[in-house]
Amino acid sequence: MAKYRILSLDGGGVRGVYTAVLLKRLEARAPGFLASIDLFAGTSTGGIIALALAFGLTPDDLIELYHDNAEAIFADSIADDMRDLGKLLGADYDQGPLRKLLEERFGDKVLGDLVKRVLISAFDLDPGEDQPERVWQPRFFHNYPPAPGKPDDRTARIVDVALATSAAPTFFPSYRGYVDGGVAANNPSMCALAQALDKHTGKQKLEDIRLLSLSTGVDPRVVTGDTLDWGYVQWAPVLVHMMIEGPMQTAHYQCKRLLGETGYRRVAPLLPRAIGLDGAKHVADLIEYANDVDLDAPAPLGVAEWVKAELAPE
């Protein structure tokens, strides 16, 4: 039986450094597992990490990138806030610093230049007048040979895909008609599984798949009370989080039921406190939190031992 190994990475902005630290620790416990991955899937910051790993960057490279560039990427100004009335009339941040960093790393390389398979989610605001069904919809960029009648993403620039998947509404402007894939699939694990099973592209068998899903940490959010007679004002602050986090947990439920204990693991620890995707000043905290995660839980086979058994080279 030939295993087909998938690494799925959630979105979460600057909290991607948390994911990078987890990857570094897992690679130390299971040397070579990253080189053995067949498909890197990601959304938003997870999409950028997936592209970087498929390109050949290491977790240490990624930790350095977040540490050195987070504050520049999420730099705001009083003038911008006055012009946009905070986030009411415009995005908080300019994509320029992120674009510069990505172009320095990837240049004009395209998805077809990657030696590993990738699946990167974005959301297409308008597929165009020439489409028979003109409606906004999720868009999944990949470098598999295309199915009949489907676009060939192998010619798409890595930089463009990275900017599309990470264009979080209200934080960054849309990019070429795309916004952050997190509005549809902030946890892309089920999408990655579907791509691997697709009869035209992945062509894998369910029993051969091994899937590791990593979060950027989970905010400790709850709503107390058995019956809540709330309206827009009360629900608005929590509804966006619920609509993103609910599908993430649903994807976990689906993958766990389909793949079982042998085929699937997800690492999604609670954070000690909520940190926004633009919390650039908390990079050091996120690194500390990720280093504190128990990789030997749950017993009897912790995630580190599972990675060593199922994802590392045989």
Residues with active-site annotation:
44, 180
189 closest CA partner among 137, 244, 249, 143: 249
16 closest CA partner among 66, 52, 53: 66
Tally Cβ neighbours within 10 Å of residue 228. Answer: 9
- How far apart (Å, rounded) are the C-alpha atoms in residues 211 and 97? 33
Instruction: Please give the C-alpha separations between residue 8 and each of 78, 223, 280, in angstroms, as whole numbers.
Output: 37, 28, 23
Region label for 91, one of left (φ > 0), alpha (ψ between -120 and 50) or beta (otherwise): beta
Tally Cβ neighbours within 10 Å of residue 107. Answer: 11
Q: Are 192 and 119 in contact (CB under 8 A)?
A: yes
Q: Which residues pair with 41 in a beta bridge?
A: 8, 119
Please confirm whether the linkage preceding 169 is cis (ω < 30° from 0). no
Q: Are 7 and 53 in contact (CB under 8 A)?
A: yes
Q: Are 304 and 26 in contact (CB under 8 A)?
A: yes
153 closest CA partner among 196, 190, 112: 112
- How far apart (Å, rounded) are the C-alpha atoms in residues 70 and 13? 9
